[in-house]
Chain A
Amino acid sequence: MNYRANVIGFRVHGIKQNRARLLFFMLSLLTLNFSFLTAVGAEAPKRIISLSPSTTEILFAAGLGDNIAGVTTFCDYPEEAKLKDKIGGMSNPSLEAVVSLKPDIVIVTTDGNPEEFERRLRSIGIKTYIFRARTIPELAGGIRDMGEALDEKERFDALAAEIEAGIDKIKSERKTRKEKVLFIIWPEPLVVAGPRTEIDDAINMLGAQNIAGTAVTEYPKYSLEEIIRQSPDIIFIGAGKGMDSVSGGLLNRLSNLKAVKEKKVFFVSDHLYRLGPRVIKGLEELEMHLNK
């Protein structure tokens, strides 16, 4: 299983590297041109606090990593994010920690951060930006909007364009499929990816069908019975420490399922867990398994 995961990682990495090199070159040209302008004209925020892992990833991907003054304890990607000052969790960030880092702007999401917190920040005179994208199709637009708010249009537009290109490529290769998919987040208790999640978006974009897509909540605790009744053609299991051993019990109980018998159970990375630049890699990964 691990071997397979490595192969995927390698493949994706290879494609990305070429594109990234080209992009880096273009970006450096741009920054050369604009560095003069920004020095004189509008001032982009220098100290940014990001209140969610997804916006942290976006900021790093847009090249603003050095301007990040604080992140949540959940922000663990890329590696550099772990070194940033922490301001608490997503649903319980510490007001005091945020204020003491003297941010120019705090980036809040509508997905996971308490609304009162954003109001409270504004009431004590701290500028906020609310990142409103909630789905993969909204991601590029959200990134452009963030770029405007941060006065870093070029960098964010470039990142948005890269994401759009990735999505377009996947759409152009899209086939009509009839596979029923189940994405397991955690086996015991059995939690799966339901509607309004990036994973559900991805499955739909690839033309497949998420059997938990009609559940009531985003990450429902799912019933074994329902899985057997729906009989998914493919089961994905999200990444986590020792996930293959944790999932053993569940897969044993599902051993009569078609997907398990035909070995259509795949352990995949956590690229789709956050609405950030990595969703493209996540999409490509699911697509590869679906095409097998």
Chain B
Amino acid sequence: MKLKLVLITFISAAVFLFALFIGPEPMSPFNMSGIEKEIIFSIRLPRVLVSLFMGMALGASGAVLQGILRNPLADPYILGISSGAALTAAFGIITGLSLFGIFTVPLLAFIGAVIAGIFVGAMGWKRGGFWPERLLLAGVGLGFLFSSLLMLILSISSDAKLKRAALWMFGDLSLADWSIIPFGFIFIAAGIAVSLSKAKALNALMLGDDLAHSLGFSPKRERFILFISVGLMTAASVSLGGMVGFIGLLIPHTGRFIAGSDSRALIPVSALGGGMLLCIADLIGKSVLSPVELPAGIITAVLGAPYFLYLLRRRDVLGA
């Protein structure tokens, strides 16, 4: 297992460098002109980092959520967190708010995500703890409400802003900027660290609350901590670059195929897998029709879904 992890880390690093120097115009890292340096450091590096962090957050969140909700269909977006973020971000884009300069839209998205998370948490809370089914249903219900409010805003807005908002919603990394990366990084790194430190508890939770309890874990407490850390990771990821589908739902399943369902291995594998997939997806998105850029969210699904379906046929990825 250790070997597999080291191998995947190396592959991720290679993908990272590949994304940095290859597309859309390949550059040699050893012989860069002034303009190429500028492009690498102020445009590509922040962009590749954002896609890496976002992908890692989504992959890890998915792995954790499928465990604490004991549901193979759970993903970071099913809890309504992303719809909350999309609603506030679209509101910011369409009204042209710019209270905090370039931070406005990410900040609004983060606030929307956190508020949605609190709502879902409050709905899913009963008798001193979260109930998986209640959380899921509350998330789905709230998601519908937010998406219809979003559609309402979009249907009465002007074309240019509409397009901008739509691009954001599909996951638009084109304006990734250094200034926002540290904030996103703090939340995502903390979220992954907490999830990893709770990996054993997560393993126990997957067996059922009674068993987890008899193994010495407090299911309510562990579920609460994991929910908060996933919520913040997802919020940070959405605010970094919008919504990128597929990764949160299907990367953990693919990860299970490679690393088994032990969370101690699954969480890092899902995180690295998510990061890699998003890096590659964004590289392809900005290269195929260059200079027209396709949102990364579209590419992740187009790339990932067929592979996932193939795995599903070959082997029962849902089984433990």
Contacts and interface: CB of A to CB of B under 8 A. Distances in A.
A124 B175 contact: no
A97 B164 contact: no
A96 B44 contact: yes
B210 interface: no
A278 to B, nearest CB: 20
Contacts of B102: 116, 119-120
B222 interface: no
Q: Which of B35, B39, B156, B164 has the most CB of A within 10 A?
A: B164
Contacts of B25: 96, 100
A92 interface: yes
Contacts of A91: 160, 163-164, 167
Contacts of B159: 217-219
A226 B96 CA distance: 30
A230 interface: no
Interface stretch (B226-234, B266-274, B289-297): B289-297
Contacts of A100: 25, 35, 39
A112 B159 CA distance: 8
B98 interface: yes
Nearest to B166: A91
Given A96-B44, A99-B39, A89 B292 contact: yes
B43 A99 contact: yes
Nearest to B44: A96
Given A99-B38, A99-B39, A100-B35, A88 B156 contact: no
Range for the number of chain B residues in contact with chain A: 20 to 34
Q: Which of B24, B96, B293 has the most CB of A within 10 A?
A: B293
B43 A95 contact: yes
A121 B147 CA distance: 33
A96 B39 contact: yes
A73 interface: yes
A94 B101 contact: no
A94 B293 contact: yes
Contact of A99 (B35, B105, B177, B292): B35
A86 B172 CA distance: 19
A148 interface: no
A46 interface: no
B158 A95 contact: no
B71 interface: no
Interface residues of A, number: 30
A217 B35 CA distance: 41
Q: Which of B158, B160, B291 has the most CB of A within 10 A?
A: B291
B250 to A, nearest CB: 26
A124 B281 CA distance: 25
A114 B92 CA distance: 12
Contacts of B105: 116
A168 interface: no
A111 interface: yes
Given A100-B25, A115-B98, A92 B160 contact: no
B160 A87 contact: no
B167 A97 contact: no
A114 B163 CA distance: 10
Nearest to B159: A219
Contacts of A86: 291-292
A82 interface: no
A239 to B, nearest CB: 18
Interface in B68-114: 96, 98, 101-102, 105
B264 interface: no
B158 A218 contact: yes
Interface in B25-45: 25, 35, 38-39, 42-44
Given A115-B98, A216-B156, A95 B174 contact: yes
B292 to A, nearest CB: 5
A217 B291 contact: no
A90 interface: yes
Nearest to B160: A112
Contacts of A289: none
Given A96-B39, A97-B24, 15 more contacts: A86-B292, A87-B291, A88-B291, A88-B292, A92-B172, A92-B292, A94-B291, A94-B293, A96-B25, A99-B35, A99-B38, A99-B39, A115-B98, A217-B156, A218-B158
Interface of A: 73, 86-97, 99-100, 102, 111-112, 114-117, 119-120, 123-124, 216-219
14 contacts: A87-B291, A91-B167, A93-B291, A94-B286, A96-B43, A97-B290, A97-B291, A99-B38, A100-B39, A112-B160, A114-B175, A119-B101, A217-B157, A217-B158
Instruction: Give me the 4 closest cross-chain CB pairs, A-B, nearest first.
Output: A97-B291, A94-B291, A88-B291, A112-B160
